[in-house]
Amino acid sequence: MTLQIGHIALENSLFVAPMAGVTDRPFRMLCRELGAGYAVSEMVTSRKELWGTLKTSRRANHDGEPGPISVQAAGFDKDMMFEAAQYNIDRGAQIIDINMGCPAKKVCNKWAGSALMRDEPLALEIAEAVVRAALPHGVPVTLKMRTGWSEDSRNAVALARRFEQAGVQMLTVHGRTREQGYKGRAEYDTIAAVKAAVGIPVVANGDNTSPEKARDVLALTGADAIMVGRAAQGRPWIFREIAHFLDTGTHRAPPLVAEVRRLLLDHLKEHYALYGDYSGVRTARKHIGWYVRALPGGEAFRTAMNAIEDCDAQWRAVAGFFDTLAGQMDRIPAAAEGALDQLDEQAADALA
Ligand SMILES: Cc1cc2nc3c(=O)[nH]c(=O)nc-3n(C[C@H](O)[C@H](O)[C@H](O)COP(=O)(O)O)c2cc1C
């Protein structure tokens, strides 16, 4: 049976996680093309005065994106979140996701993101307000949270029950507390407890880095879907690898170097078109770095590429790198062991 969010049927149960500065429209579309059944946008602020900014309008760009269009809203005030839901629905959002998972300081100092889990009445008010805004339009509301604020306050289960009563139609749980940030390993017992406590679909998130891990997390939690964040950075084909493994119990061969060359070069064109020349060349660097990090010569290439200040030259350098690589190997090497440790460092860097 296909998974549904409210009345909306999804293609499969493999989701790409919302990651600010990463899961923009070009990256989401790439993940969808490569096997993700659903992609949530980067969070959009509920602060009205920022809606006209270039950053927010880029984040609100869904041109050509396959549905359902899901917009994540972040905020600390129920009226602002109500308005943000309405505003995004007017602009095409088919699902509104509430962010109660982000640990970044600039979000949490204002009592948004995962900080809301510490104030249960406020968290509930916000969920109710967003449901009130979305329901008349037939737009389902979903919510993403952590297991709790801290080790002593793992309140995801209690909150999940209340969110379900408030009309939230799917919950994603990242298996860490706010206090943990991205350190340590995600735990799945709390996600299993949330799944057991509610009737709406539950999505398991945190350290889903390989097909085997996805299988184990699904089994451990009983979750309805798996959400992959950092492991998809520079490796968007992880979704079809997981899908193949879950279907057949065997590993799909890693992609051909020629295919990755094409995917990345097409990704870059879309990226430059969204961000323009100045920002495009700069913001593309992290994506290129993720693609090449585990490849022979990848580190040296990344250093050299970071000095390029022109989209066209960057694009040609990437093409050249993969042409050289194609002379050395047919396929991209399978993901290295220890990938989890690399994930922790990257997240810390990205959110510092
Ligand atoms: C760079 C970065 C940006 C993120 N931005 C968001 C965000 O905007 N909204 C959100 O709910 N979670 C955000 N997250 C958290 C991820 O959605 C996810 O919960 C977390 O990375 C754990 O999953 P993973 O182990 O598969 O990466 C972000 C994570 C990273 C690394």
SS (H, E, C) 115-180: HHHHCHHHHHHHHHHHHHHHHHHCCCEEEEEEEECECCECCHHHHHHHHHHHCCCEEEEEEEECCC
The pLDDT of residue 341: 57
Ligand 1 centre and the CA of 210: distance in Å? Answer: 17
Active site residue 102: yes
Reduce the DSSP state of residue 53 to 3 states and report it: coil
Q: Which residues form ligand 1's pocket by a CB distance below 6 Å?
A: 17-22, 42-43, 72, 99, 101-102, 144, 174, 205-208, 228-231, 347, 350
CA pseudo-torsion sign 79, 81, 87, 92: negative
Q: Which residue numbers in the chain have pLDDT < 50?
A: 349, 351-352
The pLDDT of residue 106: 62
- Per-residue pLDDT of 248-290, as tens digits, reads 999 999 999 999 999 999 999 999 999 999 999 999 999 999 9
Ligand 1 centre and the CA of 199: distance in Å? Answer: 25
Query: Contact 234/223 with Cβ under 8 angstroms?
Result: no
CA pseudo-torsion sign 349, 99, 103, 205: negative
CA dihedral of residues 299, 319, 28, 172 (deg, nearest 10): -20
The pLDDT of residue 352: 36
- Per-residue pLDDT of 122-151, as tens digits, reads 999 999 999 999 999 999 999 999 999 888
Ligand 1 centre and the CA of 216: distance in Å? Answer: 21
Residues 6+ apart with CB under 8 A from 323: 261
Protein residue closest via CA to atom 13 of ligand 1: 19
Choose one of 102, 116, 143, 185 to mutate for the ligand 1 pocket test, by most ligand atoms within 8 angstroms of C-beta. 102
The pLDDT of residue 50: 84
* 108 CA to centre of own chain: 19
Protein residue closest via CA to atom 2 of ligand 1: 19
Using alpha carbons, list the distances in angstroms from residue 181 to 116, 196, 230, 337.
15, 25, 14, 22
